[in-house]
Amino acid sequence: MSRLEIEQIDGVPIARVYEDIDAANAAVVRQQLDEALGPDALSLVVDLSATRYVDSAGIDMLLRLNDRLDHRRAKLILVIPEASQLKRLIAIVGLPEAITIHSSLENALREKAKSQAR
Amino acid sequence: MSESRGDHLLSITDSALGYMSLEDMLSELLERIRDSLEVDTAAVLLLDEDRGVLVARAARGLEEEVRQGVQVPLARGFAGRVAAEARPIIIDLDHADVVNPILRQKGIRSMLGVPLHVEGRVIGVMHIGTLVKRDFDEDDVTLLQLAADRAALAIDNARISEQRAVTAIMQRTLLPDALPEIPGMRFSAKYLPAGSGIKIGGDWYDVFQLATGDLAFVIGDVVGRGVLAASVMAEIRTALRAYMVQGHELAEVVSMLNELLASMDRSRGATLSILKLDPEAEELEAVIAGHLPPLLIEPGGQTQLLEQRPGLPVGVSTGHDYEAFRHSFPTGSGLLLYTDGLIERRNESIDAGLRRLEDAASAAAHRSDSTLADSVYRALLDETPLEDDVALLAIESVPLEGRLEMTLPARPNVLGGLRKTIGRWLQAAGAGEDELFDITLSASEAAANAIEHAYGAREATFTIYCDRHDRQVTIVVRDTGRWRTARPPGGGRGLEIMRSLLDDVQVASNDEGTVVTMTKKLSSQA
């Protein structure tokens, strides 16, 4: 399926999203992210570089996912490029206060490697 | 004596035709045959021509044949020989070869079988049997044949009625869906299966919108004609929709369909073209599987056949790939998808037919007195009697100007299309990237709320109006859901987002429903 692709890099599940996340599919995307996470993973990277619109249902879904990962002492990381419209949007709803945002996948993985090295 | 036997026997087929089911009539007839001819068993088997076997349809004294679905291959065994040789046969089971184990189990000793004829074709066999040895005479044969002839007629009539009923239902369900109404797009089509009285065939077209807002177009042609081709066509049409809705790439969709057809016994080959249009990005993606090239009509009226990357037809072989290609589709463009019945003429090359199509398309584009499909069809075929099925789908992208008004079903899967249409409208209005995003997302939020307010009520709709005066954009979303202080999706965050992105948001709700009015002034760029 082309709308969401899962990959493992250095033991970290990466979910690349290729569609909008809105009231129509937020629940389905949530399920797919849950599957990508599995029972053991300590972090999940959701790459929204190719995503154009995320509505309040999508934001709500990400925040709840973040809460759940928190309880497992796991970390949710979002990749949102600097130039993306989503960057402005998430600032409005205060998302960066709750979830780690990186501007590229490379940055996210580098940060992960650094924190693991500590 | 034989006359009175005959009268009683044969009277049943006359009266029964009116009110009995075929099964009951045959049962009653076989019972009377048992009486009149003083035999122990009587049965009717009908021929399944496709598979070349006789299938027991009704029996008296031999109900097991029917219950167990006994099948006798043509030309094998007793019944098979009667059908294959199309003549009465008498056998003595002690010395004969029978396929059907039930006959022996029953202890039948003698049998007489006659063919059921309709218009010179054998459609089945009627046979009678006795548990004690019996020498059937000419009278027996004549009487049984007469009964069989009457039964054959009744069976044929019943089959025709049944096929008509099935066809009528199939026709209704297999006809193409109504063309969607989408602002900024114009669709027209012609669908004419050849052959009188038959409203379906192997040609088809399909148009549907995906949840992403992209539009899918399909044109196809299954080998063959009539009901059989139409049923394969229906399977292909459904499979394509399913794969597209699941979000697979175009080339993969066609590959998957090819694999599906290869896995089916009675599959047939088909040619098809499938295209996906992003109406906001104004880009077309296409995969062609052995089908005639789609015809692109550029905004200026020039025509271009899209002949890139032609793949093989589907349902014929496996192990090959399909490749998609892209083409821009700016506002003002047109696209024609058609089957060969539209352009093929005897004693004319395909190229000549394609030239005629291009001329017709050029001349027809932008005419306002008839649809594009009608204009092209009339220019090419008009009075010509149809030799082959014709399917034609015409797609035009038209400017989105002035007021935009949409009434949509209150289902979440309309949101993607709504965003693309509003995005396109704002683009035409000269909106910058940021403000286009802000307004589109806000409209989507308001729409999502309206959908939520419908609480899943079937048939519920909501309406959205978009207006622009100078640089001021006003969008109104109106729903008829009852206001309830339930948490909207996103927990109220939707309104917060809208208020941050726009100049003003007003929400007014009462018993009749809710109206959300949003305004934003575009920066003067255009």
The tens digit of pLDDT for each residue in B336-391 reads: 999 998 998 888 889 999 999 999 999 887 677 889 999 999 888 876 777 788 89
Q: Which residue of B lies nearest to A28 if distances are taken between CA atoms?
A: B246
Long-range interactions of A7-10: CB distance < 8 A, separation 24+:
A9/A109, A10/A109, A10/A112, A10/A113
For residue A88, the chain B residues in CB contact (below 8 A) are 434
**Can you give the pLDDT at residue B525?**
58
For residue B279, pLDDT over 70 is answered with yes
Q: Tell me, what amino acid is at B243?
A: Y
For residue A21, pLDDT over 70 is answered with yes
> Distance between CA atoms of B184 and B182, rounded to whole angstroms?
6
Chain B positions contacting chain A at CB under 8 Å are 211-212, 246-249, 252, 412-413, 415-416, 419, 433-434, 437, 440-441, 444-445, 448, 451-452, 489-491, 493-494, 496-497, 500-501
Provide DSSP, B17-34. Answer: HHHS-HHHHHHHHHHHHH
By three-state DSSP, how is residue B222 classified?
A: strand
The whole-angstrom distance between A66's CA and the closest CA on chain B is 15
Q: What is the mean pLDDT of chain A?
A: 90
ipTM value of the model? Answer: 0.94
- Interchain proximity B413–A24, CB inside 8 Å: yes
- Interchain proximity A55–B491, CB inside 8 Å: no
> Distance between CA atoms of B183 and B425, rounded to whole angstroms?
9
Please state the rounded mean pLDDT for residues B119-136. 92
Mean pLDDT lowest among A34-48, B94-108, B229-243, B321-335: B94-108
- Interchain proximity B451–A55, CB inside 8 Å: no
pLDDT in tens, B473-502: 999 999 887 655 555 555 578 999 999 999
3-state SS string over B413-442? HHHHHHHHHHHHHHHHCCCCHHHHHHHHHH
- Interchain proximity B444–A25, CB inside 8 Å: no
pLDDT in tens, B54-84: 988 888 887 766 777 777 777 778 888 999 9
A79 has which bridge partners?
A47, A102
pLDDT in tens, B291-338: 999 999 999 999 999 998 899 999 999 989 999 999 999 999 999 999
Q: Which of A1, A2, A55 sits opposite B441 (nearest CB)?
A: A55
> Distance between CA atoms of A47 and A45, rounded to whole angstroms?
6
- Return the number of CB contacts < 8 Å for A and B: 75
Please state the rounded mean pLDDT for residues B146-161. 87
- Interchain proximity A92–B497, CB inside 8 Å: yes
Mean pLDDT lowest among B50-54, B310-314, B415-419: B50-54
For residue B16, pLDDT over 60 is answered with no
- Interchain proximity B437–A56, CB inside 8 Å: no
CB B217 within 8 A of CB B206: yes
Q: Which of A2, A25, A85 sits opposite B434 (nearest CB)?
A: A85
For residue B280, pLDDT over 90 is answered with yes
**Can you give the pLDDT at residue B3?**
58
Q: Which of A1, A24, A57 sits opposite B416 (nearest CB)?
A: A24
Structure confidence at residue B194 as a pLDDT band (50, 70, 90)? confident
- Interchain proximity B490–A56, CB inside 8 Å: yes
For residue B500, the chain A residues in CB contact (below 8 A) are 92
> Distance between CA atoms of B310 and B313, rounded to whole angstroms?
9
**Can you give the pLDDT at residue B199?**
64
Q: Which of A24, A25, A56 sits opposite B493 (nearest CB)?
A: A56
**Can you give the pLDDT at residue B12?**
60
- Interchain proximity B212–A20, CB inside 8 Å: yes
Distances B68 to A50, B34, B71, B74, B77 between C-alpha atoms, Å: 60, 21, 9, 18, 18
Q: What is the mean pLDDT of chain B?
A: 87
Structure confidence at residue B162 as a pLDDT band (50, 70, 90)? confident
**The dihedral formed by the CA atoms of B171, B177, B178 and B181, expressed in degrees to the nearest 10:** 180
- Interchain proximity B496–A93, CB inside 8 Å: yes
Q: Which of A2, A24, A55 sits opposite B445 (nearest CB)?
A: A55
For residue B212, the chain A residues in CB contact (below 8 A) are 19-20
Structure confidence at residue A1 as a pLDDT band (50, 70, 90)? very low
For residue A56, the chain B residues in CB contact (below 8 A) are 445, 448, 489-491, 493-494, 497
**Can you give the pLDDT at residue B4?**
64
Chain A positions contacting chain B at CB under 8 Å are 1-3, 19-20, 22-25, 53, 55-57, 59-60, 85, 88-89, 92-93
Q: Which of A2, A24, A53 sits opposite B247 (nearest CB)?
A: A2
**Can you give the pLDDT at residue B272?**
97
Mean pLDDT lowest among A54-63, A99-108, B93-102, B355-364: B93-102
By three-state DSSP, how is residue B483 classified?
A: coil
- What is the helix (H) or strand (E) element at residue B393, kind and residue range? strand B390-397
- Interchain proximity A22–B434, CB inside 8 Å: no
For residue B249, the chain A residues in CB contact (below 8 A) are 2
**Can you give the pLDDT at residue B1?**
44
For tokens 């001021």, what's the residue? B472
**Apex B418 CA angle, A32 and A6, nearest 5:** 20
CB contact set of B92 (below 8 Å; sequence gap of 6+): B109, B110, B133
**Can you give the pLDDT at residue B489?**
52
Mutation for A interface: B455, B497, B505, most A CBs within 10 A: B497
Provide DSSP, A92-118. Answer: HTTGGGTSEEESSHHHHHHHHHHHHH-
- Interchain proximity A85–B437, CB inside 8 Å: yes
Q: Which of B412, B445, B493 sits opposite A24 (nearest CB)?
A: B412
Percent of chain B surpassing pLDDT 70:
90
For residue B247, the chain A residues in CB contact (below 8 A) are 1-3, 19
CB A26 within 8 A of CB A57: yes
Q: Which of A19, A23, A85 sits opposite B448 (nearest CB)?
A: A23
Structure tokens at B387: 């030799």
Structure confidence at residue A42 as a pLDDT band (50, 70, 90)? confident
Q: Which of B140-149, B172-181, B328-337 has the highest mean pLDDT?
A: B328-337
- Interchain proximity A93–B493, CB inside 8 Å: yes
The whole-angstrom distance between A113's CA and the closest CA on chain B is 34
For the entire predicted model, the pTM comes to 0.76
pLDDT in tens, B379-400: 888 767 777 888 999 999 999 9
**Can you give the pLDDT at residue A81?**
96
CB B389 within 8 A of CB B381: no
**Can you give the pLDDT at residue B414?**
96
The whole-angstrom distance between B522's CA and the closest CA on chain A is 17
**Can you give the pLDDT at residue B502?**
96
